[in-house]
Structure 1
């Protein structure tokens, strides 16, 4: 079946939530997978306090077409 507009809208609405949830789960599991070290706790603190708000804002603003175009141009400019 070809994807309909409703399916596309549902997926585009669901994807940011899945991305943020996977980031949260991965950082919650990180301290349990590695042996205890003095570097794990500060890393997790930085991820929760700095990275999540920044990534969250970026993910939800990607719905804006102008921002997507600007980031695409920036990526092309820096890579090529």
Structure 2
């Protein structure tokens, strides 16, 4: 949420284009709602433990 708004606000005018604005607006409207279930499910201790075990296997 914050990174999308920050990028849109601080992007240089040289890369400002309607297509870039469209991509930013799609990312802003699609990415946060799709990540919300994952973020809120990580509040569950059992799921958090399972994710830690999974991630420790990769690293």
Please classify the TM superposition score into its range, dividing by the shorter chain length: 0.5 to 0.7
Q: Which runs of 5+ in 2 are unaligned?
A: none
How many residue pairs get aligned? The number is 55
The higher relative CO (CA closer than 8 Å, separation ≥ 6) is in 2
Q: Which runs of 5+ in 1 are unaligned?
A: 1-22
Q: TM-score, normalised by structure 1?
A: 0.53
Provide runs of 4+ in structure 1 moved above 6 Å. Answer: none
Instruction: Give the aligned CA root-mean-square deviation in angstroms.
Output: 2.0
Q: TM-score, normalised by structure 2?
A: 0.65
